[in-house]
Each structure stands twice: as C-alpha cells, then as structure tokens.
Chain A
Amino acid sequence: MQLTRITGNRLWILGAYLVAAAALFSAPLVFSDFRLNLLAKFLAFAIVALGLDLIWGYTGILSLGHGIFFGLGAYAMAMYLKLEASGGKLPDFMGWSGLKELPLFWMPFENFGAAVALGILIPALLALGLGYFTFRNRIRGVYFTILTQALVIITTTLLVGQQAFTGGTNGVTGYSTLLGYSLASPETKRVLYWVTVAVLIGIFILCRYLTGSRFGKVLRAIRDGENRVRFIGYNPAVYQMVIFTVSAAIAGIAGMLFVLHVGIISPSMLGIVPSIEMVLWVAIGGRGTLIGAALGAILMNWAKSEFSTAYPEGWLFFMGAMFVIAVVFLPKGVAGLFQWRGKDRKKWLPAWARGSGGKLRTGEKEGSVPQG
C-alpha cells in the first residue's frame, strides 16, 4: 500500500509484470492464428481464476459454482451474437422449437451495451442473492460449497430443459459478426485477443488493489477467523457478499470473452466439471496469490491442450498426475515455489536435506507451547 517506499525488490517485480504484459501484447507476432485463439481462450480462463482466487484464496470460501457465473456472462454475449447473426429474424433454434416471436427476456440483448452490462450484472446479482441468504445466516464451509453445486445443477437443468428459450443441450452457436466485424477474420480475432489481454491486466490491477487495501486485509482476517473479525466490529457477512459478488462479476466478464473466442456456449461448458476445473487451476497455480491463479489457469489449459493432442488416449492420466503432484508437493501451488522466504524455501525438501533450515525457522514456534 505504501507506494512511496518502492524498494529494489518491488522494482524488479514491477519490471517482471511489464515484461509479461509486453509479451502478451506481442504474442500475435509469434503465434499462428490457431494458437493465438487458444491463448485468448486461456486468458479468459485466467480472468475467472483471478475472481475465484478472491473468494477462495483470499477469503477462504470455496465456490464450486463459478462455472455458472462464467456461463451466464457467456450466454449474455452469445444471445447478442445470435441475434446479430439472425439479422432481425427469430434465432434458428427457436423456430425449430415452435416459437413464433422473440421472448421478452431476449429483447435487451439486441443491444451490445445492454448485453455486456447484463453479462456482468446477472452473475453479480445471482451471487449477491445467494450470498445474502447464506453468509447472513452464517452458512459457510462445506455447506456453502454444496449450495453452490446445487446452483450449478439447477441452472444447467434449466438451460437444458428450456430448449426453446436457451438452445438446450446444443447451447447457442452460429454467430457471424460482432458490431459488424466478421468474427471469422484474423484481424477481428487479433483485436479480440488484445481486448482480452487488456481486460485481464485491468482485472489483475483491480484484484491487486482489492487484496492490498485494508478491505483485502479484512478478507484475509475473515479467512483466518471469521468470529474474531466479528468481535472486532466488522460484519463479515457484508464483506463476504461484496467479494462473492465481485468474483461472480469477474467470472461473467470472462465468460463473455470466452464466447467471442470459442464461438459457442452450451450447458456442458458451465456445469459441475468445468466449475471444479476452475478451482483446480487456482489450487495448482497457487491460491492466495493472484499471479499464481492466473498462471495456473493458463498452464493447466495449455498442458491439457498439448497432452490431449500428443497423447489422445493417455492425456487424462497426465492431468491427474499433475494434480496429485501439485497437491502433495506444492501445497501453495506453483506460485509457492517462487516465494523465496527463508523459512518456506526448504519446506518441500525432505527433513534430512534441509540442512540449516531449522535455524531459519525460529519464527515458527507454533505448537511448542501447550495451549491454555
């Protein structure tokens, strides 16, 4: 928070971020259109991971329902694209289902600005509603997580069941243009990639601010001891609601970008499995660090795509192995490897290999004094 004291170390970190941002912006010079499109998709996933890290990594609340917030954003954008592609006529799948005119709730999505706003607002309001009933009643831990899963099941069931309004299992696809620009053209794709990079950086800076502010400290305090926070005078429920809502809004933004790169959204892309996968990205990248969460999403998806093309039969085993290795050896994720603080550095080594590690860890006396 104290920007006046920029130490050498901070300068290095800032430099590294600038290099990373420059590399992301210049990626179109290196990658083929296909690869660039993949990377753009992964960057959208990185945005969800950032939002998920706010609620899970920093506040300690595990949401297994972020696929839904992501999906609602995606559907909002998909509905706009579908309407633009249909050129004033009824979207094809509605006709197949026997609808005669556009349902009322589709109307706002004819406007790009309204669609974008709703793509953020709908997930945010849904999260606010769920948060209002759970956090205020002190439903937390595994019970909250189960409720988010219930939300996933309800939403996907609704999307599949209401085929005439939502496109059912097939989802919404068949887009042509965005604001008049062809989505298939490499130029548009490149611009959309840059937009995604810019949004990712913007959200990263926002999250950085949130987690670095005193608000962020209260969130971490809630993670450490919600009751204690209450007896200091903060109302944890309000903080939890706010951060859950922000997290869902970020997922919605990511979903909108995802649809622009992928060209389809269907219930299977926001169900239980994708929701859990999102949590895995954060866990493997390193929860509680923003860069870890973002990198986790990109690396995991990159690995998934590489492994699945190289080893079409065995790739799932590789992914499983990666997950096991990360959980067993890297409790703080990949980002934990880079926290070169003396007392942590050698933790992952077996005891005999740590050598003088004990000396460095004098600060860790926890448990050596009998409590009470």
Chain B
Amino acid sequence: MANKGAAILECEDVTVEFDGFKAVQGMNLQLQKGELRFLIGPNGAGKTTMLDVICGKVRPSAGSVTFGGKVDITRKHEHQIAELGIGRKFQAPSIFKDMTVMENLEIAMRQKRSVMATLFARMNSEDEGRLNGQLSMIGLSSKGSWRAGGLSHGEKQWLEIGMMLMQEPEVLLLDEPVAGMTDKETDKTGELLHEIARARSVVVVEHDMEFVRNFASKVTVMHEGKLLKEGSMEEVQGDDRVAEVYLGRRREEHASRSTA
C-alpha cells in the first residue's frame, strides 16, 4: 500500500487474537501528523486493544503498524517503541505512587535511558526549568514534593499526562483520560488536550460523547473489532449503522454529560 505523505502512524489489517477470540479483525487506522483523533465504540469494540497493539503491549497476529512511514513496530519491544516516540496513557492512572510528583516527571523526561546515562545524570537548570514548566501546565506547581500516591484521582491523571508530555513523544495514545473525573476536572483535561494536540498527533479512546463534541476533529468508530465509520462527529452521528450499534443505545445516557 502506498504511503500517504504525512501519515505518522499507519495500521494496516491489524488482527489480534486472544485464545481464538478475535478482539480486532483487519482494522485500519491512519493518523496524520498533528492530528487529534478520537476512537469510539461500544464496550468490547477493541479500542483499547488497538492502543495496546500500537504501543507494543499486545502483538498482533496479522497486519502491520508503521511509524513515521518506515519503521514496522509490531516486532519491537515496548521500551523501544516508547523511545521511537509513542507515548501511552493507560485508563487507570499509573503513576509511581511512592515517588514525589517531581521525581515522576524527572524520570519520564526525554533523556538517554541507558543505565550509564542515568547513573551519572545531573539535573541542570534547563531541565529544572522544563520540569517546573510542565508542573505548572498540569496545575500541580504547589505539589511538586508530594508523594504522588497522595494526589487525587484527577491530579494523578494530569500527572500522567504531564509525564507523557515530558517524554516528548510524536504520537500520544490516551485511554479514557476523563473517566472518573468531576465536571471541573473534565473541563481542565479538555484544555490540556487542546494544548497537547497543537504540537503532536494524538489518539484518544473516549466514552464521553459530550467531551468528544468539544473537539472539531475526526472520529473513528469501531465495532466488534472492525472499522465501522470514520469522519467528523456530525457524519458519524448521522450514520445509521453507528446509531444502531452505539449512539442509538447510548444517546440518552449521554444526553447530559456522564462523569462516572
């Protein structure tokens, strides 16, 4: 298949099998540079599995994932993929709870990852500036020396987003970043996301339709491991099949923003 110029990430015919069950079947996904893409679909549609494939957590049984137009990452280890520039945020906040907020950001910071490099790493004023800048962007300036485990749920999510940004990845994969957040926290996360999407390519798996509507960006709908529809939010909502499998059943639920 021909490469389309600026595609940073290209998933072709990706199939994932778990003990004979096909979680993803021949899924295609193409992400342009600087694009913000939402991945939606009912439970069990294979959205999270797609993210798992891209970040190397799950190996697809068929298909390829090409990064930057040349590297096939399906045979690479997770840490190699992360080093190439693909960052992943999991659904449950996974931060290092026994370390301080600042230390969490420090080890996430883009840097050489070898033992030798970290053994002799020194914090210079430039690094410190970057860390403090990140800290204020995620709104945790006053909590840099807190034990990360002591943060609230929303703050943990932001810390994790902050850690991802410190990695300076080219592609960010976010799995339900606003799940479990209050309305206020959701708004703030939305702002963060707008800011992030300005400079990077982002894939967001999301259930909260209201949240998705805030962004004028392309939406990919998955159903039973397959691509169902791709287009703007209006196009997707106008699609009968989508309404049938997903929105029809859930429109009422999401009429008012659900935060749980």
Interface residues of A (CB under 8 A from B): 1-2, 210, 213-215, 217-218, 220-221, 223-225, 227-236, 238-239, 242, 363-366, 369-372
CB contacts (< 8 Å) of B120 on chain A: these are: 213
Residue among A210, A236, A364, A371 making CB contact with B180, cutoff 8 Å? A371
Q: Is B200 an interface residue (CB 8 A)?
A: no
Report how far A215 CA is from B260 CA in the complex, Å: 38
Q: Which of A228, A242, A363 contacts B147 (CB 8 A)?
A: A363
A372 touches B107 (CB 8 A): no
Are B113 and A233 closer than 8 Å at their CB atoms?
A: yes
A-B contact pairs, 18 of them (CB 8 A): A1-B122, A210-B119, A217-B103, A217-B118, A221-B96, A221-B99, A225-B94, A231-B87, A232-B79, A232-B113, A233-B79, A234-B79, A234-B113, A235-B113, A236-B79, A365-B151, A369-B152, A371-B153
Closest to B152 in A: A365
The closest CB in chain A to the CB of B84 belongs to A233
**Cα–Cα, bound, A133→B149 (Å):** 33
A35 to B115, CA, bound (A): 42
> A233 touching B82 by the CB < 8 A rule?
yes
Inter-subunit contact B163/A215 (CB<8 Å): no
Q: Is the CB of A214 within 8 A of B118?
A: yes
- CA distance in complex: A263, B98 (Å): 43
Determine which residue in A210, A214, A369 has the highest number of CB atoms from chain B within 10 A of its CB, and name it. Answer: A214
Contact A213 B151, CB 8 Å, known A231-B78, A232-B107? no
Q: How far is the CB of A342 from chain B (nearest CB, A)?
A: 12
Q: In the complex, A223→B96 CA distance in Å?
A: 9
Which residue of B82, B107, B154 has the most chain A CB atoms within 10 A of its CB atom? B107
Interface check B83, CB cutoff 8 A: yes
Query: Within residues 139 to 160 of chain B, which ones have a CB less than 8 A from any CB in chain A?
Result: 146-147, 149-154
Residue of B nearest to A241 (CB): B115
State A242–B118 Cα separation when bound (angstroms).
12
Q: Closest CB-CB distance, A227 to chain B, in whole Å?
A: 8
A336–chain B nearest beta-carbon distance, Å: 14
B83 nearest CB neighbor, chain A only: A233
Given contacts A232-B163, A238-B115, A239-B115, contact A370 B180 (CB under 8 A): yes
Main secondary structure of the interface of B (DSSP, over half): loop
A213 in contact with B121 (CB, 8 Å):
yes
Contact B78 A218 (CB under 8 A): no
8 A Cβ contacts from B38-82 to A:
55, 57, 77-79, 82
**Cβ contacts under 8 Å, B119 to chain A:** 210, 213-215
Contacts of B115 in A (CB 8 A): 215, 238-239, 242
Which residues 87-123 of B sit at the A interface, judged by CB distance below 8 A?
87-88, 90-92, 94-99, 103, 106-108, 113-115, 118-123
B98 touches A223 (CB 8 A): yes
Q: Provide the main secondary structure of the chain A interface.
A: helix
Output the nearest chain B residue to A232 by Cβ-Cβ distance. B108
Q: A221 contacts which chain B residues (CB < 8 A)?
A: 96, 99, 107
| Residue numbers in B under 8 Å from A364 (CB-CB) | 149-150
CB pair B91–A372 under 8 Å, yes or no, is yes
Contacts known (A232-B108, A232-B163, A232-B167); A220 close to B152, Cβ less than 8 A: no
Q: Considering the chains assembled together, what is the distance between the CA atoms of A230 and B57 in angstroms?
A: 10
> Please, which residues of chain B bring their CB within 8 A of the CB of A363?
146-147, 150
How close is A247's CB to chain B, nearest CB, in angstroms?
14
Q: Is the pair A231, B146 in contact by a Cβ cutoff of 8 Å? A: no
Give every chain A residue within 8 A of B98 (Cβ-Cβ).
220, 223-224
Bound-complex Cα distance A122 to B217 (A): 60
A2 partner, pick from B123, B146, B152, beta carbons under 8 A: B123
How far is B9's CA from A123's CA once the two chains are assembled, in angstroms?
Answer: 46
B179 touches A (CB below 8 Å): yes
A38 to chain B minimum Cβ distance, whole angstroms, is 36
Q: In whole angstroms, what is the CA distance A326 to B39 when docked?
A: 51
Q: How many angstroms from the CA of A60 to the CA of B154 in the assembled complex?
A: 27
Asked if B96 and A366 sit within 8 Å, CB to CB, the answer is no
User: Do the beta carbons of A366 and B149 come within 8 Å of each other?
Assistant: yes
- A231 in contact with B153 (CB, 8 Å): no
Residues of A within 8 A of B77 (CB): 230, 235
- Closest Cβ of chain B to A88, distance in Å, is 44
A218 to B121: give the CA distance in the assembly, Å.
Answer: 12
Residue of A nearest to B93 (CB): A371
Inside 8 A of A214's CB, which chain B residues have their CB? 106-107, 118-119, 121
Complex-state Cα separation, A218 to B163, whole angstroms: 14
A224–B92 contact, CB under 8 A?
Answer: no
In the complex, chain A residues whose CB is within 8 Å of the CB of B118: 213-215, 217-218
Once the chains are docked, how many angstroms separate the CA of A242 from the CA of B115? 8
- 7 nearest A-B residue pairs (beta carbon): A233-B82, A363-B150, A369-B153, A224-B96, A214-B121, A215-B118, A214-B118
Which of A224, A363, A370 lies at the interface centre, i.e. has the most chain B CB atoms within 10 A of its CB?
A224
Report B-chain residues with C-beta under 8 Å of the C-beta of A236. Answer: 79
Q: Which residue of A lies closest to B169 (CB)?
A: A233
Q: Is B167 within 8 A of A217, CB to CB? A: no
